[in-house]
Structure 1
């Protein structure tokens, strides 16, 4: 079909026919069946894409093992960012590495790369090329499975999926663990999958609300197994050292860290974990030295900035104990200001490219601002954090706790504080942060009721606290008291109705 441009020249106008739409839709249905980065969950809204690019590029530049894995995931991220041509180049590099390093198992290991190729070509509108990769996958997968037509659930696929999920967001760690378990069922001595399983356990055990599910010995056993199969795996050494440090096996832990640093003196992940070990041993200067060295190798690494910030904060909190640090006449005051600037710089760098995932760094930054009297800066950080979506519940609880405490004790805004702390309590788990939310609210309630026993807000919050504790009759009593002084409060009426119904059902059983 033809039309006319503004200056009268004839131009061609393309109109998609219903048939081409149908072809695209049918192709999309096939693509959705694939096992590759485009079907594994983490998408634009829950990963910080810029930071992911830096991390993947670092692992490629450092020539670490499993470079093909990094190129595959980088292709996915580039495609999400609209850089489809770069994504194709990434996949070409991944394919080349797999052909060179895995001649005998290339086809098994190419399933994910070919799946990614198909998706990138689909996003580029090159439907014939996308279909050609589906055809290749069908030929590869036919002898490997009786199941899906275009993929095969083999250890290589489960393992790659596990690493991809592990690299993305904490809410996918448990799914990553299941993938490594499946990979190890068929290939129990594969150090790549054992290391993946150990890594996901290591991370899960550090997350409040999930650590209780996992025994530390599980992670220790898997790291020890990695070192049995590969005695030179230095990252496993430092991770094992951190676990042994927790169990107070200091001598063996120290030896492992020293050995790892001798074997891999220039690997940022080894340096970072060794630095964490020394920081926990209060050897903060040694930790900073290692982290600065790692940062020199990977200058855009946000996790390193966070770790350096934590080291400077240890020194800052120690200095706060010295009364001279609050007097500008003394050198301790200048030292304090230098440490505050170091903390703010590094925590700021830690979340610069990770606004969605580096919530802890942002909370640490806000805490430093509060300690320095910069309340407006802290308020801005909390405001941004409270608007985030898709945050893990335990991270959101920590945000509510710290923002609520800030409103209560620094801004003297009781209503805002109570609202935030109640939201933190509604995230039900037995974490330290849950207990602190409760403690702050309980303290506030008792203070208010001492001054005015008829304060409806305080009576309502007291009812809420009893409700959270599971003490239904006491909760009913306090909500009824609150309604005596605020009879039209819908929140109290709703809570009272729910409690009475639940109370009656319980007593009917």
Structure 2
């Protein structure tokens, strides 16, 4: 690029960053599983008719990140075509994000004039819609699509997605797409331990009920509502909703997968497997479905009782182990960042059948992962630590992993279980080695976390009597004394 075109590129970039589109919404390439997103978006284009244009828009962004700019342009042409068909009278309002994406893709291709032409179009569209920025308009259509995009990206963006749906609903309170978006993001956040939403786990219910008031045929809202009502012991109504949803959405893989979850949690594991296999026929690349099928087979395996390594497994156990390995393995393929639970489940199966080196390899890879959700790190620490303790008899590695899980300040089941493991270990250790500094320090930390300052000080002092130079204990003691 010569100096003049370089200067043009810089000036253009200043305008591009003002746009509202996938390239400015803050989703980081590092936090996205791009290959998995391609599969999911292609499935959504086939099955989620309402959101086809939005899926093409997001697919264009992913393709551009992967260096497939020509393909990205084709995706945007498809999005534009669908928007023209579906929004004849309001095409321009609905095309703001698509045109923004066009501008960015052309910029990445070095086609600066074409990028500028889309900026000019956006300026004309947005001028009558806003007093704000020149190249965008914060209207419900923009907030709504941004919400769905963030929701389908990765868990770290769920909170932002919720805010977007709230903004869209301020101006358009009866739009079922935005109400469904808010309901979906709430139900996901309610399932994460430690989130504010998990402390009020029924907020999503009223939004799902509102969707069904406005659109009684929404099978997705039916099945999500059924899952929530089941948790509130409203079993009869929940069962009816799932039956209705399956009648209306028998060819929708999303309805099938959530119905399968409902039946699995009810104990009807075979029914769940059948529905998941139907969904897998529709979306054969779905890692999620393989994981769910594996979970069902693992439940069946656990019901048969423990496998004694001294005796050969029964034919039924062998078959179930093989199914678990296959489906957890398929779910884990090519997805190091987002397939953490399937990998942990696969490691479990290896342990059950005594294949410890395979389990160890999985844990070693998972422990190295960075920038993943805190509850996932805590779960990795719990399971890898338990493996170190039970199978490898390595106390110090196990304790270090449990400590890592506990020190992440995120309130999850995994963290609580790491605490319990540390307490058991320290109690046992101090019975026969009352002057073990590590065990004394662990006790101190556990008392500190529970808010018992005087006991925490007592145990950190005892630990320092033996391990005088330990900076961690010194620091903890100093903090406790200053806040005492």
Shorter-chain TM-score bucket reads: over 0.9
Alignment gaps of 5+ in structure 2: none
Cross-structure match for 1:110: 95
Matched, 1:57 2:42: yes
The answer to whether the 8 Å contact 2:344/2:380 transfers is yes
Q: Matches of residues 278-427 of structure 1 in structure 2 within 5 Å?
A: 278-320=263-305, 327-328=311-312, 333-427=314-408
User: Residue 320 of structure 1 aligns to a residue in which SS?
Assistant: coil
The answer to whether the 8 Å contact 1:37/1:112 transfers is yes
CA change 1:448–1:381 in 2 (3 A) is: same
Aligned partners of 2:43, 2:196: CA distance in 1, in Å?
30
Q: Deviations over 1:58-117 (max 9, x none)?
A: 122336222101100000000000000000000000001101110111000000000000
Q: Which of 462, 465, 484 pairs up with 1:481?
A: 462
The answer to whether the 8 Å contact 1:194/1:226 transfers is yes
Residue 226 of structure 1 and its aligned partner are, at CA, apart by 0.9
Cross-structure match for 2:180: 195
Aligned partners of 2:197, 2:44: CA distance in 1, in Å?
32
So what's the TM-score if we normalise by structure 2?
A: 0.97
Aligned partners of 1:399, 1:138: CA distance in 2, in Å?
49
Cross-structure match for 1:10: none
Aligned partners of 1:394, 1:341: CA distance in 2, in Å?
29
Cross-structure match for 1:437: 418
Residue 470 of structure 1 and its aligned partner are, at CA, apart by 2.1
Aligned partners of 2:367, 2:158: CA distance in 1, in Å?
23
Q: Deviations over 1:256-309 (max 9, x none)?
A: 111111111111000001111111111111110111011011100111111111
Q: Matches of residues 124-273 of structure 1 in structure 2 within 5 Å?
A: 124-210=109-195, 213=198, 215-273=200-258
The answer to whether the 8 Å contact 1:91/1:117 transfers is yes
Aligned partners of 2:199, 2:331: CA distance in 1, in Å?
28
Q: Which of 490, 493, 500 pairs up with 2:471?
A: 490
Aligned partners of 1:325, 1:400: CA distance in 2, in Å?
26
User: Residue 73 of structure 1 aligns to a residue in which SS?
Assistant: helix
Aligned partners of 1:186, 1:230: CA distance in 2, in Å?
19
Bigger shift: residues 125-134 or 483-492? 483-492
Residue 213 of structure 1 and its aligned partner are, at CA, apart by 4.4
CA change 1:115–1:489 in 2 (3 A) is: same
So what's the TM-score if we normalise by structure 1?
A: 0.92
Alignment gaps of 5+ in structure 1: 1-15, 504-509
Aligned partners of 1:117, 1:350: CA distance in 2, in Å?
34
Q: Which of 431, 436, 440 pairs up with 1:450?
A: 431
Aligned partners of 1:214, 1:447: CA distance in 2, in Å?
34
Q: Deviations over 1:135-160 (max 9, x none)?
A: 11011001000011110000000000
Residue 242 of structure 1 and its aligned partner are, at CA, apart by 0.8
RMSD: 1.6
Corresponding residue pairs, total: 484
